[in-house]
A and B are shown apart, each in its own frame.
Chain A
């Protein structure tokens, strides 16, 4: 059986759906997402859809192995839920961009060669940028521009790394890239999308400003696909593992300093991607499996929590912890779904995050014990920001009056994802069966369960005892991008201030010179005669009848450019051209 590349279903929907009437468009979107998932599940193991370009470049559009199928399946499955979440929104451009974004992400996962990988990588950047700009929220335009700048830089680094890899004789097939400049550039490019510190600021900058509907797609695809590419090309580097540890703690710390609920979740993305990055950096088979398992869990968790946050924002019109509270009474189903997602992210049994987070920490601990401590601290931070999010949105205070529970098109995918989080936790072999090389993990060994409750219980105790440190904030605490934005504003001020003034003056001077030159050129011969006479005026004055000659020169000046001088013959012109050539020769020889 010939199976199309799954990306084709999404791209077809992206191309066709904007031109369809609304009911038909909704059907096409859901069918395309379901078809994409089916194609991922049906795709045969091995390489398929191979083409050779004229330049000898061999493309592989459907490279299927247990890892790519796992990541592709979770993208397609959660993508289907995200499509359902947005289905009531009458916005053809939103739907086209989401389908294109999903298609690019799934296409990237199944790319067997670097050429296709780069194409899908850039398509992801373009479609995600469209999703950020498809927003009424203040600041979305500027955030999109900053997103564009950083991703142009990241894409350039990725392409540069791959080009160096190929130039040094490396294969076009997607695989590990040898060390040196190629690996450095490649990992920097991937690091932009994976939100390595300090290249991370686009995540909390752009995601909270994206529309409710766009954000559910943005939060699952870009960072996770970067982790996948990192696992394919740059695993087993200790520096990368330590970067993951730093991201884990840094993200948790800043999540606690946000008041925007999607700001909290954005920093949570950085923290959880840090866990995956640490495991990929360790690079052992068990660590890679753990990273992929955590990737799968985090895709489901983040989609669920961003959906919940979106439902809260649409129901209340508020997006800050200070303005929210007590919503569990008004929106019990949304609250229950967010609680499931939060518990999964905090690593509490029996949710999926418990299994994969435990595997990640154990795998990292075997290779780099000191890094395990960092990840455990980050895990405690995760419990804190999850508790803060759930408490101040759903429990504390009185709910503001307004409409109740989210509509069914939002509730259905949220409940489905909550169930998925539970299934990924209670049937961990479901993930690890797809990763065929993984051994059977005893995730529910009493020591693992006890350890998870130990961390969660300990952190909760601190949350209760030190509650004052975690109350809603008057404003978000600035991150590193506050410095870069200030530097950027200073640079712009310098450009529009001193540099602009200097440019204006140079422009005015050049304009005046050009005006004089044009006036001079309007009667070139007379101008030359007058200029020479003016320069020679001291000599002319001493000549017999000098005074009369000076008066004649002044008359000529007053009458210029109408005054006429004697015509020059052609020999003079030839002489002038010869002199210019001579001048050119001198300059050439001297320089």
Chain B
């Protein structure tokens, strides 16, 4: 699932102007960084409120 956008990103990066790789890096970093922030905040909120949960 993760491979598909990464392959597309690679193809786009290969055939586009110089500014594109930077754009890809910035947006990917925003995606990973933002999601990581959410993951940490959600884990903290779950622990603090004792919301529980289950792994599937």
Contacts and interface: CB of A to CB of B under 8 A. Distances in A.
Nearest to B52: A474
A257 B27 contact: no
A379 interface: yes
Interface stretch (A10-18, A458-466, A501-509): A458-466
Nearest to A448: B23
B38 A384 contact: yes
Interface stretch (A148-156, A449-457, A572-580): A449-457
Given A450-B13, A457-B28, A396 B34 contact: no
Contacts of B38: 252-253, 256, 377, 380-381, 384, 462
A452 B27 CA distance: 7
A389 to B, nearest CB: 14
Contact of A253 (B1, B42, B49): B42
A546 interface: no
Interface in A363-377: 373, 376-377
A246 to B, nearest CB: 14
A456 B39 CA distance: 15
Given A450-B9, A464-B2, A469-B39, A457 B54 contact: no
Interface of B is mostly: helix
Main secondary structure of the interface of A (DSSP, over half): helix
Contacts, number: 165
A471 interface: yes
B42 A457 contact: no
A303 B53 CA distance: 28
B29 to A, nearest CB: 7
Contact of B34 (A379, A472, A476): A379
Query: How big is chain A's contact interface, by range?
Result: 35 or more
Interface in B1-52: 1-2, 5-6, 8-9, 12-13, 15-17, 19-20, 23-43, 45-46, 49, 51-52
Interface string A317-355: 000001001000000000000000000000000000000
A446 B16 contact: yes
Candidate in A257, A381, A453 with the most chain B CB atoms within 10 angstroms:
A453
A468 interface: yes
6 A-B pairs closest in CB distance: A458-B31, A474-B52, A380-B34, A454-B27, A462-B35, A458-B32
Interface of B: 1-2, 5-6, 8-9, 12-13, 15-17, 19-20, 23-43, 45-46, 49, 51-56
Given A396-B56, A446-B17, A454-B9, 4 more contacts: A376-B31, A392-B56, A447-B19, A475-B52
Interface of A: 252-253, 256-257, 322, 325, 373, 376-381, 383-384, 392, 396-397, 446-447, 449-464, 466-478
